[in-house]
Chains A and B, each alone.
Chain A
């Protein structure tokens, strides 16, 4: 499992904000934790997969997409804030994420 530090959430937030700003052609200042990914940014579900790949490399995570998929179906994400929270859980628990009660 990856080591979570105080800075980790800030790092994750920065990567997520930059990613959406670039892909959706909006200024970073227009993105907040309350921003709705589909309605506000015209985003798509593939972006979630791409972000997982980015974090997988960045933190050398041991995760399988199908595991994340099972978790995401039960815990759908709508906002940027929810997405960051989920990425944090993925980084922290990796393939054990389904064991979170």
Chain B
């Protein structure tokens, strides 16, 4: 048996729900999770909208995390723990029956969100709340796992890089199971003002649910989301041995750095195209085999233009035949969590043969002419799908998932 890397469990908390099934149902229904900011008083901010978790999360997490530990965590870390425990339950793994030295945790983390929206921070807890390895550390503590355990920060591609690293651990026979994910929340005054100063986020506050409009002519920036996504990566051998449900295979990835600009992507999507080409070349997948691309699709002027150009560079005339959709149209941009959340959506697209839509594409940009799956989800066989993530600083990732 080839040492394939397979997905056996997933967990999500996002603005569209606090569990996997609710998220998937809302994504397929084309619902928006964007609303007015409630986590702090945003009335003086240019941007007053975001994709916040349902308010009941602050009660929901108590089923998962003891009070003592919760007090040492930020909201971001708590999101991660909830998604991780759901993913482990979903995978049906009993770590007590496994070699824990071969079970790892890798989390994509931009920051733990120990910002002004965190309350009741005591001096004793400040360090634990701020340290970026907290997410992976707490997950390993939960199950007493003893394999490699670390955090990765590559901005908005962080948890896509985490998936790539988890893939490597299994491929190189360093682990049987890797809990991979990311969590993020930058819904605080400092971050909103900072991104406003960069003209990176939408200021179309009314109505909130219409603001995130990837590939549309009137897009004006991304909408900040928050959430966590966790995937259980497992060696095929281990998954088959314990009779696990296999949702898809992670067939490989392409990673690259642009070495170009701290914020802007490389002109005409050159770096994005290089990354997708690398992913396909390394996995030995032909261009015509790709059935779906879950785009980075941020709703910014440059990303959507360049990503479209990149897809055309890679797939040539065939690009027009490939459905490309942006989950950020519904969830907003979950930053460090986006790579895994969108990875999960890509896996579910394959598993259910259903492609979630790009919503709010009421006024398509005439320059952007791919099939963006506008407005409604599409029932279609998906055997091979790509998930793109591109981060500030030129961190690019393209993950390749295959039907199992």
Q: Which residues of A approach B to under 8 Å, CB–CB?
A: 23-25, 42-44, 46-47, 49-50
What residues of chain A lie closer than 8 Å to B68, measured between beta carbons?
A: 23-25, 42-44, 47
Smallest CB separation, B337 vs chain A (Å): 28
Q: Is the CB of B124 within 8 A of A46?
A: yes
Q: Are B66 and A50 in contact (CB under 8 A)?
A: no
Per-residue CB contact flags for chain B residues 61-77 toward chain A (1 = under 8 Å, else 0) read: 00000111000100000
CB-based nearest B residue for A47 = B68
Which residues from chain B contact A42 at a C-beta distance below 8 Å?
Answer: 66, 68
The 5 A-B residue pairs with the shortest CB-CB distance, nearest first, are: A23-B68, A25-B67, A46-B124, A24-B68, A25-B66
Query: Nearest residue in A to B128 (C-beta to C-beta)?
Result: A46
Chain B residue with the shortest CB-CB distance to A49: B124
Bitwise, B46-82 to A at CB < 8 A (1) or not (0) is 0000000000000000000011100010000000000
B67 / chain A contacts, CB cutoff of 8 Å: 23-25
B residues near A (Cβ < 8 Å) are: 66-68, 72, 124
**Best-buried of B66, B68, B72, B124 by chain A (most CB within 10 Å):** B68
8 pairs across A/B with beta carbons < 8 Å?
A23-B67, A23-B68, A24-B67, A24-B68, A25-B67, A42-B66, A47-B68, A49-B124
In the bound assembly, the distance between CA atoms of A100 and B68 in angstroms comes to 33
Chain B, interface SS category:
helix
Minimum CB–CB distance from B375 to chain A (whole Å) comes to: 47
The residue on A at minimum CB distance from B123 is A53
In the complex, what distance in Å separates the CA atom of A46 from the CA atom of B125? 9
Nearest residue, chain A, Cβ from B122: A50
| In the complex, residue of chain B having the shortest beta-carbon distance to the beta carbon of A23 | B68
- Taken together as a complex, chains A and B put the C-alpha atoms of A10 and B311 apart, in Å, by 73
Residues of B within 8 A of A50 (CB): 124
Q: Which B residues lie within 8 Å of A24 (CB)?
A: 66-68
What is the bound-complex CA distance between A50 and B124, given in angstroms? 8
Q: Closest approach, in angstroms, between the C-beta of B60 and any C-beta of chain A? A: 17
Q: Tell me the minimal C-beta distance from A21 to chain B in angstroms.
A: 11
Q: List the A side residues contacting B124 at CB < 8 Å.
A: 46, 49-50
Q: Which residues of A contact B66 (CB under 8 A)?
A: 24-25, 42
CB distance from B144 to the nearest CB of A (A): 13
A49: chain B residues at CB < 8 Å are 124
Tell me the bound Cα distance from A66 to B72 in angstroms.
Answer: 22
Measured in the bound complex, the distance between the Cα atoms of B72 and A71 in whole Å is 26
- Once bound together, how far apart are the Cα atoms of A50 and B123, in whole Å? 10
B122 to chain A, nearest CB (A): 8
- Whole-angstrom distance from the CB of B398 to the nearest CB of chain A? 41
**Beta-carbon nearest neighbor of A44 in chain B:** B68
Instruction: Give min CB distance, A57 to chain B, whole Å.
Output: 14
Distance of B128 from chain A, by nearest CB (Å): 9
- How long is the Cα–Cα vector from A6 to B251 in the complex, in angstroms? 71
A25 vs B62: C-alpha distance when bound (angstroms): 11
Contact residues in B for A44 (Cβ distance below 8 Å): 68
Cβ–Cβ < 8 Å partners of A23 in chain B: 67-68
Beyond the given A24-B68, A46-B72, please list 13 additional residue pairs across the A-B interface where CB-CB is below 8 A: A23-B67, A24-B66, A24-B67, A25-B66, A25-B67, A25-B68, A42-B66, A42-B68, A43-B68, A44-B68, A47-B68, A49-B124, A50-B124
Tell me which residues across on chain B come within 8 A of A43, comparing CB atoms.
68
Shortest distance between the CB of B130 and any CB in chain A (Å): 15
Q: Which residues of B contact A47 (CB under 8 A)?
A: 68
A11 to B82, CA, bound (A): 38
- Of all chain B residues, which has the CB nearest A43? B68
A65 to B122, CA, bound (A): 17
* Min distance, Cβ A13 to any Cβ of chain B, angstroms: 20
Measured CB to CB, the nearest residue on chain A to B125 is A46
Complex-state Cα separation, A44 to B67, whole angstroms: 13
| Bound form: Cα–Cα A46–B395 in Å | 38
Q: In whole angstroms, how far apart are the Cα atoms of A43 and B66 in the complex?
A: 11
In the complex, what distance in Å separates the CA atom of A25 from the CA atom of B124? Answer: 20
Q: With A and B bound together, what is the CA distance between A42 and B65 in angstroms?
A: 12
Smallest Cβ-Cβ distance to B67: which chain A residue: A25
Contacts of B72 in A (CB 8 A): 46
In Å, the complex CA distance between A68 and B126 comes to: 22
Query: What's the least CB distance linking B137 to chain A, in Å?
Result: 13
CB proximity of B78 to chain A, nearest CB, Å: 16
Nearest residue (CB) in B for A42 is B66
Distance of A50 Cα from B68 Cα, bound (Å): 12
Chain B residues positioned under 8 Å from A25 (CB to CB)? 66-68
Chain A: minimal CB distance from B323 (Å):
48
A44 to B72, CA, bound (A): 12
Q: How far is the CA of A23 from the CA of B66 in the complex (A)?
A: 9
Nearest residue (CB) in B for A22 is B67
